[in-house]
């Protein structure tokens, strides 16, 4: 039985940010450190090191949050601002193209109508889960995109280690475990990367 696989495929698993505070068996790591000219390099280097601690090779699965907004909900008609709609259409086209690419290549499932931060009448969120099935993901590219905020809300999943790695940007990442024993096993391995601000809370969770 793989608990983390069951979680990511369940509508009961909200997985909304901040992941560290919203999940009891989670650890928070700092990525970008050092001088300005080395900051982004260090963020990528540390993210890759954390990835290699958690994953043997490729993730067993990745998932995306796919956000949809009904822009005409409150008025009953499309807004007239042409520039806004061109921008919206361009963004949605890019996101859909990316999702279709992954769905064509990998076995996948969609977990629909998940909870949202606000405006549930106008905003929808779906989780698109893609399974590796021994077809490697290009995780280095995805990590770079997450750090540079050029991707869209991608998380990496290990079935073996029962965990999710979510990089929010160059500042840091959260590692969410399905079980406390797994969190405790990886605690000393990830400790060199811990964000000092949340270290007291992580120590409390470890006890």
pLDDT one digit per residue (tens) for the chain, 207 residues? 689 999 999 999 999 999 999 999 999 999 999 998 899 999 999 999 999 999 999 999 999 999 887 766 555 555 555 666 677 677 778 888 888 999 999 999 999 999 999 888 888 899 999 999 989 999 999 999 999 877 678 999 999 999 999 999 999 999 999 999 999 999 999 999 999 999 999 999 999
User: What does the block give as tokens for 207?
Assistant: 């006890």
User: What does the block give as tokens for 7?
Assistant: 């979680």
Calculated CA dihedral for residues 113, 159, 108, 19, nearest 10 degrees: 30
Domain residue spans in the chain? 3-206
pTM listed for this prediction: 0.91
Which DSSP state fits 137? Answer: -
| CA–CA dist 62, 22 (Å, integer) | 20
């Amino acid at each position: 039985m793989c608990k983390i696989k069951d979680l990511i495929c369940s509508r009961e698993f909200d997985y909304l940010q901040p992941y560290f505070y919203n999940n009891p068996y989670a650890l928070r790591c700092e990525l970008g450190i050092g001088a300005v000219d080395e900051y982004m390099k260090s963020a990528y280097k540390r993210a890759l090191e954390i990835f290699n601690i958690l994953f043997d090779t490729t993730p067993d699965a990745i998932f995306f949050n796919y956000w949809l907004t009904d822009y005409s909900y409150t008025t009953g008609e499309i807004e007239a601002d042409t520039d806004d709609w061109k921008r919206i259409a361009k963004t949605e086209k890019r996101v859909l193209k990316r999702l279709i690419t992954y769905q064509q290549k990998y076995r996948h499932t969609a977990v629909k109508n998940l909870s949202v931060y606000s405006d549930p009448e106008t905003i929808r969120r779906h989780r698109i889960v893609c399974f590796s099935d021994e077809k490697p993901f290009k995780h280095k590219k995805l990590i770079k995109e997450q750090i540079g905020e050029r991707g869209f809300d991608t998380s990496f999943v290990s079935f073996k280690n029962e965990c999710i790695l979510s990089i929010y940007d160059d500042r840091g990442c959260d590692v969410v475990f399905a079980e406390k024993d797994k969190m405790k096993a990886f605690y000393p391995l990830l400790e060199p990367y811990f964000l000092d601000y949340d270290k007291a809370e992580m120590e409390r969770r470890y006890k």
